A and B are shown apart, each in its own frame.
Chain A
Amino acid sequence: SQQGEEDPQALSIQEGENATMNCSYKTSINNLQWYRQNSGRGLVHLILIRSNEREKHSGRLRVTLDTSKKSSSLLITASRAADTASYFCATDAGGYSTLTFGKGTMLLVSP
């Protein structure tokens, strides 16, 4: 079953604009991670935020986590055509490092 739900399902923007994707989840978590997937291939880890953190930055990425609302957001600033991909949030709630993924947001960045 899917734990997280990303919103929107699809997002289309122009290069240079910011892209915001949201994730909601159902149960308590140890951490939440964001991944990128290009054209149905392997997943690339973007950023991990622990349950006791509220905000984290990595390059053009900014992630926020609100555990009271069980939600997270991923902001990509100054987007590029190369950012075109599917983005997934994944939650880690167990004692071992298994991840529960949402259905993803498809991001299309047009030149």
Chain B
Amino acid sequence: ETGVTQSPTHLIKTRGQQVTLRCSSQSGHNTVSWYQQALGQGPQFIFQYYREEENGRGNFPPRFSGLQFPNYSSELNVNALELDDSALYLCASSLEIASYNEQFFGPGTRLTVL
């Protein structure tokens, strides 16, 4: 166990809807990153938050947004869902943003968009 939890485990939505995924980081971890993993692919970086501010973003449109809270929890919000958003969404927490810090991944939320 990595000490990182995510909810819900599974989620089914329809195209056009909005979804919020949640992550609880390890206590003391100031950095949280979100990844999207399509079936048969490796995870792709969505964005990273450090001390409640977005610190970096991958090649994802603005309808993917996030929040990080002082209690080490965070959210990934996706608006106007598309079929291609169906994937496993992973959050990962780390102590600081330095590149050598190990990232601890949660078990993921599997989102299906119909």
Contacts and interface: CB of A to CB of B under 8 A. Distances in A.
Partners in one complex: yes
Contacts of A48: 100, 102
A101 B58 CA distance: 13
A4 B41 CA distance: 11
B33 to A, nearest CB: 6
B14 to A, nearest CB: 22
Contact of A96 (B35, B39, B88, B99): B99
B103 A42 contact: no
A1 to B, nearest CB: 7
Interface residues of B, number: 37
Given A30-B99, A45-B102, A94 B56 contact: yes
B99 A102 contact: no
Given A96-B48, A97-B33, A98-B33, A103 B102 contact: no
Given A43-B105, A44-B105, A97 B98 contact: yes
Interface in A29-48: 30-31, 35, 40-45, 48
A102 B42 contact: yes
B9 to A, nearest CB: 10
Contact of A97 (B2, B42, B101, B106): B101
Interface of B: 2, 4, 31, 33, 35, 37, 39-45, 48, 50, 55-56, 58-59, 88, 90, 92, 94, 96-108, 110
The 6 closest A-B pairs by CB, nearest first: A101-B42, A42-B107, A43-B105, A96-B97, A30-B99, A42-B105
